[in-house]
Structure 1
Amino acid sequence: MKYIAQRYNQGIQQYYSVVMDLKTVYDNSKVLIYNQDDYGYQRPLDEKHVKKIKNNIISGNGLFPTSIILSVNSNEVKEIISDVEFEDIAIKNVVSINLQGASKRDDYCYFRIVDGQHRLEGLAEAAKIKNELWDYKLSIIILVIPNESRVIELDVFNDINSTPKKLKTDLVILAKQKYILLGQKDIQSKEDMEEYLAIKIAHILNEEIKGSVWENAIKFEKEINSQIGIIGIAAYKKAILPLVKKIIHDEGGKVISIQNLDDKALDLADYFNQAWQKVYEKWESCFKVQSIIIESEKYDFYYDNSYYLQKTTGVNAVFQLLNQSENIEEFEKIINKSPLTEEDWLKGGKLSGLTSGSGFKKAVMFIKNGKTI
């Protein structure tokens, strides 16, 4: 099957715009799922959303004027795209996309679905009932992704989904870390280094330090839709980033290798864990040793959702105090002298509502003085 497409650029980014039938798009594209595919960054399908789309289509109420966004590797474009000629002269920016003999969905696919996976899946489910829907026409935008810059695809997905749809972007943060490890995104700046280091520290605290109060407490990909975890990776990263920046600045701020960053992350995770051990000793009742079985696997954790201490307010306040302290010993003195009680950390207690930057500063003053003035 051949399709005529328009080729255009926005700066150095190349695109193709084309109308295709559902069957062709569905058979020749796939979604990259985080923790299932090497370059995965999306969550599994929401079956309820798919079912709603399917039912709307079958009832005749479904319209999809907005484009499905796909991506393709730049080194594979030549295999499926050729110029369109008229009287031996190529028509400027008009191409033919030939997908005849292309691999089907269960094997390798040329295209990756950047935006529109639920629409495609819902339409496909409807087409299994009403076969004529396989010919349903869809507007398609294809991004040409340079092989060495796969992170562009991730940035496009994030731009589409993070603000207008207010979707969680935890997986985008984690996927970017994986892209660095896969060699698709370089540590090019101090900001890259800080971001990588903050997420790596959170991962170590959450996954590798057994008995830490942060074991299984930070919501990474597997916890997004489960009963486990008290704070998301994006919020946790934001809380520790100022301290990470200070440490990097104090050490000269030079960009270093992934291996050296990983070594530093281990040291800093241990440092943060020591600090939170002091917090645990001060307000022990705010922590609760528990375990849960999920898909035959046991998860231990130490947080208690009844308290603010490991939620956004407490995490930011504690890390701000650690940032202000010269060392663990000074931090421990401040914590031990705090007039705050465990009851003050309860939901609805003294620290209730302190969820902004100014609120975090008030929480720090509460820890130091038991009041905000």
Structure 2
Amino acid sequence: MSAYSANIRKMYALRFFLSLHFIGGVLVPFFLDWGGIRYSQIMLLQSFFVISIFVLEVPTGAVADYFGRKASLLLGALSLSAATVVYAAYPSLYIFAIGEFLWALGGALLSGAAEAFVYDTLGEMGEEHLSKRIFGRFGTVELIALMVSSPVGSVIASTAGLRYAMLAMSIPFFIAFLICLTLEEPPVRREGEDRNYFTLVQGGIEYFRHHRILQVLAFDSISIGVLAFFVIWTYQPLLQSLGISIIYFGFINAAMTGAQIPIMNNFERLERLAGSKRRYLAVSSIVPAIGFILLGFVVWVPSVICLLLIICGFGLTRYVLFQSYFNKHIASHNRATVISTISMLSSIVQAIVYPIVGYLVEWSLPRTLIIIGVAMIICTLISRIQEEYLID
């Protein structure tokens, strides 16, 4: 039991080091200025990234179920470390594409496996009921790391150069790999003994296809999540259009990250204030939607920054709740594969939307922000989530 308890602490550390994204506050300038590519090409790279996720997500989820979550975490951390080195090797669209693929591989190996590893560890400890709180803390650890690393990355970029802000991430990512070596893998509770790899893949897809509640939850999570995440890709060109110096980007990014922490640590209180879990999910999508629309009109810098904080606080924290809700509806023996199936669907949506938004931003950034907000409102109105689907 003590070994499994240590797992949770080690996973906190793992999440911290994997979240030290020094490039975060200057990512768009990295591609535009050092990389010499256009904004639409950045979005095409992101589309390639999520297509890679689409190809890799379910197979890597099955790897986690078949060979073990620990093996998947090890390979994922190592792949991310290699990706940063490739990104910084040479300013070329094609080199960036290789980096995107390695990052996609690492992310796919980590995504379903990390949550499944934690949930199964809690199961061995008899504390599955604490999953929402634990996942919330993981989110907080991630946000703290992002807050610390973003300003540091801006300093690195402004003194040593944009390339070195990217390259520096290889160090904490390799430390994460070393942490993975010390994890104690919990046994997976199975409903059968079939361990055939392709059976796991097919089983995960079929499980989702016949589970209406998961489908409803996935629609809300994916549609709002994909749209809300565009705040990350649009705020830097927005700040540049307002004449804000790049040296401040990392600090603004840290503030945007910090805005998510009080939300993540007060889900239960916010749900009580909203009247129910279902109503809070609606609030957490409508509020950032209105924020996007207002960003299309507001030009006063303090107001813009406040709107960015609001969008991030509500719109970028919903995934933590859905991690808990998804797990409550999935059997342990194929949990990683089913979660990866849902991530795969998210990748399909992103692959379609990214290029569209890329060309829209080159056409008009303010109008693009308004379009994103309106789309979020529409998705919220057609969501079919019921209160009984949201199990603690």
Whether these two folds match at TM > 0.5 is no
TM-score, normalised by the number of residues in structure 1: 0.26
Larger-Rg structure: 1
Q: Hey, which of these two has a bigger chunk of helix by percent?
A: 2
- Higher relative contact order at CA 8 Å, sep ≥6: structure 1 or structure 2? 2
